[in-house]
Amino acid sequence: MWHAYANRPVLEAGTEVLVTGGHEPVRLQTADRITIETPDNNRLTAVVVDRTDDHLLLALGDAPLLHLNASGDGSAFDDFKLSNGFSRQSWRVR
């Protein structure tokens, strides 16, 4: 189970998702579960349907599958307060 934060209330094209791993390196793989917190304090639960290289395919309940690409810079979260030493990966909804 991973924890993540979105920079927008809706997971739509261009939304950045920051996955955190605590002190363990983030290593998303198929069948992992992710809890995503949005800026309006909603929590969404997703399952990784497929992880291939820099691409993720997420299932969020009855919603259409969500495609994400790795987004190395994570600049959308520059002001985000996260404890030092926490591993993280940034993804962008396409």
pLDDT, tens digit only, all 94 positions of the chain: 999 999 999 999 999 999 988 778 899 999 999 999 999 999 999 999 999 999 999 999 999 999 999 986 666 666 766 656 578 889 999 9
Q: Can you spell out the DSSP letters for 40-59?
A: TS-EEEEEEEEEETTEEEEE
Rounded to whole angstroms, the Cα distance separating 20 from 55 reads: 17
Q: Structural domain of residue 51, as residue ranges?
A: 2-93
Structure tokens at 16: 């950045």
Q: How many domains does the chain have?
A: 1
pTM of the model as a whole: 0.87
